[in-house]
Structure 1
């Protein structure tokens, strides 16, 4: 069996891309809508304190980090869709628990339950199952765009809907969105007949430990940890700053919406220019510097809504650029056959960052106010810039996974593939009947590799 290269998405891949993007958008909206409002409306709950509201904001990140890999492992045993249904049901249950809570402790418990419905790794695995390797990046891009749009829309809808429904009503709405997502899975998402190779989607502890020693990947793992720590930290203090500036909670969308829209307009050219000039590291550090500048300006801001809008715009330009760049860099740098493990470490780092950001920002706000939170995030961003100076991003690199039948001499086939022009690295996983190739796109000819596989 050999990979057949076709241009464009086939009908199954299109349906899978659109439906999984919708699924992700519904799921992430349930998390993002809470970020700009929880610190405001949480003040009405028994036991409110900045420490506990910070924990409630970040609690889902802790349980997400704990359950991503186990849920992905379970999906290999019982199937992708049953695990996605289970995860959405747990997420809905957590939303109901939070909706019924009259204390910040109950809301924190509900948020932790929401995180236990950790389906991101399983949805990504299903996306890989539903797509050919040559088209997989396009499917993943659809999902990435849906997350970005969900984030932008949620920042606007969260304050508006909270004013209409209250915090409890918002949690009930989120539970309803989880049920809608379950209907999408049942009626719209295609069933996968073939699974992608395990190295493309799976992570195991042995591989993860090995990847933790990879200097380039560790830089990116630290980066996504810091990025989501700073994001959750921002939403512990920014809603309060907008209130202090005289903007009512239901009007916060008037600042969030322009900031997000302008940030997307500015971020896209940065991505294009960085790719064309092959200066990804420089623009990457520039984006981190925008986050740093936003936090420094928060230290000197004195109640101006316009300045808060500028701060948010700078922050979201940097955040959106980095959020789009990091997964691509991970896929680019991951050793052949270990992409799943690399993304597993990456996702765990991301959700841990969300948890540490929320909980530490709450504790620091109680101890030293907004200034303490800002200096904490500024320190971490400076460390990230120093860490990123050692980045060695590879440009013009692409990965292929070629399905093979049982070759008589697998070592001989691997040796022939390794010496093809443009091949950077080749790995054969006999149990998967798969050869992974990392290649230089300008030098590599896929047809020659396919001829060798056919001959074997």
Structure 2
């Protein structure tokens, strides 16, 4: 059995790439709690155009993330990531210098055009062995969650001290530092490989789009980020109306995000360990809907803060469990493609959420933003209500013994399928790996090791 301890190069790659991913997300989200407030000083600003500025990055991100990922297979991961960071830096500078809402929209769209998430994940997969890749991906996921929470706090503090342009200049600085980290800290990958557990395979795309169970989850992340982006057209003004000064918004978000994280953790444990994923998921969607409607009616600061706490507890819970559900439902060897569709849905939701929130605020007032989002959550709940409970299957990647070839490969799928606890098998000879979906409670690890050969390693996801 190959050791699961991280090698020095793997540790450097994980730290560096997690930092790149987190700093990019930090820059994208810092404007979320402040743009609507500070846009009043921009020429031509209307609620609709402010919403477009908030969500504009999502459109370019959705359009370009898959092409950039495929391009990294051809010309190199670091080259594509560096190009994306340059676009992100350029967009930040354009937005920082803008004195009109049109300039901010352009800057945000340029920020989103640096769509390097898929390339970062592919480089991480190139840099890590199968048996440690799950831990590496988990660190990336954790860094994104932390970046979002930090952005909600740091954004108001920076805007209060330096204005909206200061937020964008800080983001540009993050992008510049990220370029240095990319070339100085992240080691060069030994080779570029296709990883079906991470990257998108165009041959699998049609089948993923035909899976109703996966489409429900794609709709879920679409709706989740739609309502997130939409409500920040109105939430900052709600805080002001409740008597909370702009300078105190960062403190409010700090308390809310910290408590929401603490409240979310036991619910994730119940969902995963107690195998109650569907009830927890439906409860979170219903709770989100109730909080959205409540935000439309809240008139006191304590009601507003309490409802925001409920909203972000449900939001964080869904952010944590939806990717897990995708992993459980995706066929063996298709998780990367399923996640590609899922991510595109997320970015499209962010874009349309900004536009919808701005349109509702402009034509019907701020209350309509919350009620409209509550209606969307109700439709979302209706769509997912009848879904089957996801089976608690985990992904395994087994590296084939170098001696396995010819007739041995022809019968390998059957031999793996006979192992107790193995539910789905995909053998990929050119990658010299086998992708499995397994029930860990029933998995015969010793039998799996014997089938894989004496020189094997495997990882769980």
Aligned to 1:156: 153
CA contact (8 A) 1:160 1:250 kept: yes
Aligned to 2:337: 341
Offset, 1:374: 1.8
Give the distance between the partners of 1:370 and 1:111, measured in 2 at CA.
23
Q: Are 2:319 and 1:285 equivalent residues in the alignment?
A: no
Offset, 1:159: 0.9
Q: How does 1:281-360 map to 2 (within 5 A)?
A: 281-302=278-299, 304-360=300-356
Give the distance between the partners of 1:290 and 1:28, measured in 2 at CA.
26
Give the distance between the partners of 1:414 and 1:6, measured in 2 at CA.
25
CA contact (8 A) 1:396 1:442 kept: no
Aligned to 2:366: 370
Aligned to 1:361: 357
Give the distance between the partners of 1:273 and 1:223, measured in 2 at CA.
20
Aligned to 1:442: 441
Aligned to 1:261: 258
CA 1:259–1:455: 2 relative to 1, 3 Å: closer
Aligned to 1:415: 414
For residue 437 of structure 2, give the secondary structure of its aligned residue in structure 1. strand
Deviations 1:369-402 (A, max 9, x none): 1232222211221122223221421215332243
For residue 398 of structure 1, give the secondary structure of its aligned residue in structure 2. strand
Give the distance between the partners of 1:201 and 1:226, measured in 2 at CA.
24
Offset, 1:170: 1.6
CA 1:347–1:93: 2 relative to 1, 3 Å: same
For residue 436 of structure 1, give the secondary structure of its aligned residue in structure 2. strand
Offset, 1:204: 4.0
Give the distance between the partners of 1:290 and 1:392, measured in 2 at CA.
19
Aligned to 2:458: none
CA contact (8 A) 1:280 1:393 kept: yes
Offset, 1:48: 0.4
Give the distance between the partners of 1:401 and 1:216, measured in 2 at CA.
26
Give the distance between the partners of 2:424 and 2:44, measured in 1 at CA.
56
CA contact (8 A) 2:48 2:359 kept: yes
Aligned to 1:223: 220
CA 1:194–1:336: 2 relative to 1, 3 Å: farther
Offset, 1:118: 0.5
Q: Are 2:32 and 1:35 equivalent residues in the alignment?
A: yes
Offset, 1:362: 0.4
Offset, 1:197: 4.0
Give the distance between the partners of 1:258 and 1:310, measured in 2 at CA.
11
Give the distance between the partners of 1:39 and 1:214, measured in 2 at CA.
38
Q: Which moved more, 1:428-437 or 1:267-276?
A: 428-437
Q: Which moved more, 1:20-29 or 1:190-199?
A: 190-199
Give the distance between the partners of 1:70 and 1:15, measured in 2 at CA.
27
CA 1:339–1:396: 2 relative to 1, 3 Å: closer
Q: Which moved more, 1:37-46 or 1:131-140?
A: 131-140
CA contact (8 A) 1:199 1:338 kept: yes
CA 1:96–1:403: 2 relative to 1, 3 Å: farther
Residue from 392, 395, 411 that aligns with 1:395:
392
CA contact (8 A) 2:393 2:437 kept: no
Give the distance between the partners of 1:209 and 1:106, measured in 2 at CA.
38
CA 1:403–1:110: 2 relative to 1, 3 Å: farther
Offset, 1:155: 0.8
CA 1:396–1:341: 2 relative to 1, 3 Å: closer
CA 1:391–1:123: 2 relative to 1, 3 Å: farther
Q: How does 1:2-401 map to 2 (within 5 A)?
A: 4-195=1-192, 197-302=194-299, 304-389=300-385, 390-401=387-398
For residue 435 of structure 1, give the secondary structure of its aligned residue in structure 2. strand
Give the distance between the partners of 1:385 and 1:251, measured in 2 at CA.
34
Q: Which moved more, 1:381-390 or 1:149-158?
A: 381-390
Structure 1 runs not aligned, ≥5 long? none
Q: Which moved more, 1:201-210 or 1:312-321?
A: 201-210
CA contact (8 A) 1:219 1:391 kept: no
For residue 392 of structure 2, give the secondary structure of its aligned residue in structure 1. coil
Give the distance between the partners of 1:372 and 1:68, measured in 2 at CA.
32
Q: Which moved more, 1:151-160 or 1:373-382?
A: 373-382
CA contact (8 A) 2:216 2:384 kept: yes
CA contact (8 A) 2:332 2:395 kept: no
Give the distance between the partners of 1:435 and 1:424, measured in 2 at CA.
13
For residue 236 of structure 1, give the secondary structure of its aligned residue in structure 2. coil
Offset, 1:52: 0.2
Give the distance between the partners of 2:2 and 2:324, measured in 1 at CA.
22
Give the distance between the partners of 1:131 and 1:205, measured in 2 at CA.
23
CA contact (8 A) 1:32 1:154 kept: yes
